[in-house]
A = this chain, B = another copy of it.
Amino acid sequence: RSIGPHAVSADDPLPSWNDTDTKTSITSFVQRVTDPDSTDFVEPALRIATFDNDGTLWSEQPFYFQLAFAFDRVKAMAPKHPDWKHTQPFQAVLEGDMKTVMAGGKESLLKIMATTHAGMTSAEFEALAYDWIQTAKHPKTGRLYKDMVYQPMLELLTYLRSNGFKTFIVSGGGIDFMRPWTMETYGIPPEQVVGSSIKTKYQLRDGKPAILRMSDIDFIDDKEGKPIGIHSHIGRRPIFAAGNSDGDWQMLQYATMDHSPSFGLIVHHTDADREWAYDRQSAIGKLDKALDDAPKQGWTVVDMKHDWKQIYPK
Q: Residues of A with Cβ closer than 8 Å to B?
A: 45, 48, 122, 166, 175-176, 179, 183, 189-193, 197, 200-202, 204, 207-209, 211, 224-225, 227-228, 231-237, 250, 253-254, 257-259
Contact = CB atoms under 8 A, between A and B. Distances in A.
A258 B207 contact: yes
Contacts of A190: 234-236
B202 A250 contact: yes
A183 B45 contact: yes
Among A183, A190, A192, the most chain B Cβ lie within 10 Å of the Cβ of: A190
A224 B212 CA distance: 12
B202 A228 contact: yes
Given A257-B207, A258-B209, A193 B235 contact: yes
A257 B207 CA distance: 7
B253 A204 contact: yes
B228 A211 contact: yes
Nearest to A234: B191
B207 A45 contact: no
This chain: copies in complex: 2
Contacts of A175: 232, 235
A195 to B, nearest CB: 10
A290 to B, nearest CB: 14
Contacts of A228: 200-202, 211
A158 to B, nearest CB: 17
12 contacts: A190-B235, A191-B192, A191-B233, A191-B236, A193-B235, A200-B232, A202-B227, A204-B253, A204-B257, A208-B257, A208-B258, A211-B231
B191 A231 contact: no
Nearest to A200: B228
A198 to B, nearest CB: 11
Contacts of A224: 201-202
A6 to B, nearest CB: 18
Nearest to A205: B258
Q: Which 7 A-B pairs have the closest CB atoms?
A: A190-B235, A208-B258, A202-B227, A202-B224, A209-B254, A179-B235, A191-B234
A207 B258 CA distance: 8
A200 B227 CA distance: 10
A76 to B, nearest CB: 24
Among A166, A207, A228, the most chain B Cβ lie within 10 Å of the Cβ of: A228
Contact of A253 (B176, B209, B235, B254): B209
A235 B122 CA distance: 9
Contacts of A236: 190-191
A84 B272 CA distance: 65
Contacts of A183: 45
